[in-house]
Amino acid sequence: MKRLRFLRCRNGANFELFEYESPDQNRQQPRNSDVGGHHIAFYVDDIHEAIAYLNAKGVRVLGEPTVRDSGPHAGQTWIYFLTPWGMQLELVSFPNGKGYEKETTARLWHPAIRRYDY
């Protein structure tokens, strides 16, 4: 193991991110849709502030934010970025809720909500 980082997400989950190194290592990053692919998204209230923070730290941000303005994910914005060793992660934001919430009382977990009765 070359590098290990722990991330604590406020009142939510803790994550461990590893960078491994070995002579027979496959350096091809799997796509999210590949077997063995992965997907970790971090919720942020202000995606533009979060992107500015990543840019200021020299983190490689991939493209421009994708904004959903219709359908069940209306109100959601997301963007991918890379760890220093190339692992793809995501920022996602929907501070005013999502489109589907107009039709149901079901809600996604949100780090600012401390109750467990949803």
CATH class of 38-118: alpha beta
pLDDT score of 118: 43
* Residue 28 token pair: 């091809």
Torsion angle in degrees (nearest 10) through CA of 68, 71, 73, 79: -20
Q: How far apart are CA 59 and CA 83, in angstroms?
A: 7
pLDDT in tens, 80-115: 999 888 888 999 999 888 889 888 888 777 666 655
Can you tell me which residue has the tokens 């220093």?
A: 84
Domain boundaries, the chain: 38-118
The answer for residues whose C-beta is within 8 angstroms of residue 25's C-beta and 6 or more apart is none
Report the Cα 42 to chain-centroid distance in Å.
3
Give the residue, 44 or 38, on which the prediction is more confident: 44
Give the residue, 61 or 104, on which the prediction is more confident: 61
* pTM of the predicted protein model: 0.75
Q: What is the mean pLDDT of the chain?
A: 85
pLDDT score of 112: 63
